[in-house]
Structure 1
Amino acid sequence: MLLIGSTVMWILFEKAGYNFLAFVANTLLLLVVIIFFWAKSASLLNRPLPPIPDLDVSEELVLVAADEIRVWVNSALATLHEIAVDGNLRTLILVAFGLWFISYVGSFFNFLTLIYIGVLLSLSVPYLYETFQGQVDEKFIVVRKYMSTIFEKVDPILQKIPTSLNKQKKTE
């Protein structure tokens, strides 16, 4: 059902050219009008009011989300510190390559299409992995061996790059 819904949303936004903000506003407008008329008709016809739950965000949920976000932010800040303050050239090259790769892949797709591809993969990959687990594991072993041979060739080159551009002054 989620796969069908995400496909309909992608078609609606990408192919039909519908705007996301307009969609959210129109959906909320329709929901508010339906609830309003339901409540008015319920009072006139002596029927129960619409079952609207108490929608409160618990403090525990906010704290858990904040802790998760804090871990990601601290990791990004540590990497930034490693590049800017420590002058770690290896980290700079890896971050620059990663950002370039994301930019390169992103240039092929619209942002909405990337989100849709992410939803499709998150819904289909776990099912396919459970179905074909033995075959997938065999292929991953082959890819891992291949990548380790590539890393063995690249690692000596990365080891030659100095980790810090800042020269430590000798104080006696």
Structure 2
Amino acid sequence: MGNSRQFSVHLALGGGAVADLLLWKKWTQSAAFLVGSTALWFLFERAGYNLLSFVSNVLLLLVVILFLWAKSASLLNRPLPPLPNLEVSEETVVKAADEMRVWVNCTLSIARDVAIAGNLIFFSQVAIGLWIISYVGSLFNFLTFLYIGFLLSLSVPVLYDNYQRPIDEKLNVAYDIARIQYRKIDDMILSKIPLPSNKEKKIQ
């Protein structure tokens, strides 16, 4: 009972191939993903290779290989390249559109609460979030930021899966402290906003 976990991190990540990758269930695939992302980051960030040139060269090499394979197959009576059916199904497009619609509606709802409803809590959260993104963006470029995201995605879920209980305890303590500080700041901001007194209301 003492070692039981609140929920499965594997299921929280979808329970599929992506969850297996992030939780290192199949360590060869996770290691290949880590090595590949590190190689691409080094190639573009340190070696100064251009993304457009890299994509063009890879596609050119792929086309040449497939062309030579097809020609040699017709001459030597060998099987053609095993290419899958490269088309996007209508179901996939509908699912992607539904997911995009949920995110867009959520963003528009937050924008409405901030701009029209004048929600101070949402305004503070959005302002702090944008400031953090701006500050982090001044320290790293987009490619390095994306690479850091890859590293975190391969380390944070598996660490949380192995040490969920102590991490939850520390997060609860940090959340309580942050909530107290947020209330103090919120009260400080509200105290500086002039509000009409009861006498003024009676005169009106």
TM-score relative to the length of structure 2 = 0.72
How far is 1:107 from its partner? 0.5
User: Aligned residue for 1:78?
Assistant: 109
TM-superposed CA distance for 1:87, in Å, is: 4.5
Match of residue 109, structure 1, among 140, 163, 166? 140
The offset of 1:81, in angstroms, is 2.7
SS at match of 1:141: helix
**How is 1:47-86 mapped onto 2 (pairs within 5 angstroms)?**
47-86=78-117
Residue of structure 1 equivalent to 2:183: 152
Q: Give the Å deviation of 1:29.
A: 0.8
Structure 1 residue 19 and structure 2 residue 56: aligned?
no
C-alpha offsets along residues 70-110 of structure 1, whole Å, 9 cap, x if unaligned? 11111222233333344545544432332122101110001
1:4 lines up with 2:35 in the alignment: yes
Structure 2 residues without counterparts, runs of 5 or longer: 1-31, 194-204
| Alignment-derived partner of residue 167 in structure 1 | none
Structure 2 Cα separation of the partners of residues 22 and 128 of structure 1: 37
In structure 1, C-alpha distance between the alignment counterparts of 2:122 and 2:189, rounded to whole Å: 10
Contact 1:42 1:49 in 2 (8 A): yes
Does the C-alpha gap of structure 1 residues 96 and 133 become closer, same or farther in structure 2, counting only changes over 3 Å? Answer: closer
**What are structure 1's unaligned runs of at least 5 residues?**
163-172
Question: Aligned letter for 2:131?
Answer: W
Alignment correspondent of 1:141: 172
Cα shift at 1:123? 1.1
Distance 2:145 2:169 in 1: 28
Q: Count residues with an aligned counterpart.
A: 162
Contact 1:82 1:88 in 2 (8 A): yes
- Distance (whole Å) between structure 2 residues aligned to residue 157 and residue 49 of structure 1: 72
* Percent of aligned pairs sharing the same letter: 58
Alignment partners' CA distance in 2, 1:8 and 1:159: 51
Distance 1:145 1:89 in 2: 20
**Deviation string, structure 1 residues 44-94 (Cα, Å, up to 9, x no partner):** 111000100101211111111111111111122223333334454554443
Query: What are the within-5 Å matches in structure 2 for residues 27-42 of structure 1?
Result: 27-42=58-73
Letter of the structure 1 residue corresponding to residue 126 of structure 2: V
Distance 1:125 1:92 in 2: 29
